[in-house]
Structure 1
Amino acid sequence: MTTLAPGRSVRRDAGLYGYERALRRRGLEPVAGVDEAGRGACAGPLVAAAVVLEREVPGLADSKLLTAAARERCFDLIASRATDVAVVVVPPQECDATGLHRANVAALRRALWRLRVRPGYVLTDGFPVDGLGVPGLAVWKGDRVAASIAAASVVAKVTRDRLMTDLHERYPHYDFATHKGYTTATHSDALARFGPCPEHRFSYVNVRAAMEGR
Structure 2
Amino acid sequence: MPTLARRRIPVRRDAGLYAYERTLARTGFTPVAGTDEAGRGACAGPLVVGAAVLAPGKRGEVPGLADSKLLTPAARERAYDQVVARAAAWSVIIVPPDEVDRVGLHRSNIIAMRRALARLEPAPSYVLTDGFPVTGLGVPGLAMWKGDQVAACIAAASVIAKVTRDRIMCELHEQWPDYGFDAHKGYVTDEHQQALSAHGPSPVHRRSYANVARVVSLGDEGWKGEPDL
Q: TM-score range by the shorter chain?
A: over 0.9
Tell me what 2:8 maps to.
7
With normalisation by structure 1, the TM-score equals 0.98
2:149 corresponds to 1:150? no
2:87 corresponds to 1:86? no
Tell me what 1:16 maps to.
17
Deviations 1:112-158 (A, max 9, x none): 01112111110000100001111111111100000000000000000
Query: What amino acid maps onto 1:139 in structure 2?
Result: M
Tell me what 2:200 maps to.
195
Query: What amino acid maps onto 1:169 in structure 2?
Result: E
Which residue, out of 57, 71, 76, partners 1:71?
Answer: 76
Any gaps of 5 or more consecutive residues in structure 2? 221-229
Q: Distance in 2 between matches of 1:85 and 1:97?
A: 27
Deviations 1:151-188 (A, max 9, x none): 00000000000000000000000010000000001100
Tell me what 2:187 maps to.
182
Tell me what 1:47 maps to.
48
Percent identical: 64
Any gaps of 5 or more consecutive residues in structure 1? none
Which has the higher Rg, Structure 1 or Structure 2? 2
Which runs of structure 1 show a deviation greater than 4 angstroms over 4 or more consecutive aligned residues?
none
Which residue, out of 168, 173, 198, partners 1:163?
Answer: 168
2:145 corresponds to 1:140? yes
With normalisation by structure 2, the TM-score equals 0.92
How many residue pairs end up in the alignment?
Answer: 214
Query: What amino acid maps onto 2:61 in structure 1?
Result: E
- 1:48-127 alignment, distance < 5 Å: 48-54=49-55, 55-127=60-132
Q: Distance in 2 between matches of 1:77 and 1:186?
A: 34
Q: Distance in 2 between matches of 1:181 and 1:67?
A: 18
Deviations 1:26-56 (A, max 9, x none): 0100000000000000000000011001210
SS in 2 for 1:83: strand
Q: CA deviation at 1:12?
A: 1.2
Query: What amino acid maps onto 1:191 in structure 2?
Result: L
Q: Distance in 2 between matches of 1:36 and 1:79?
A: 16
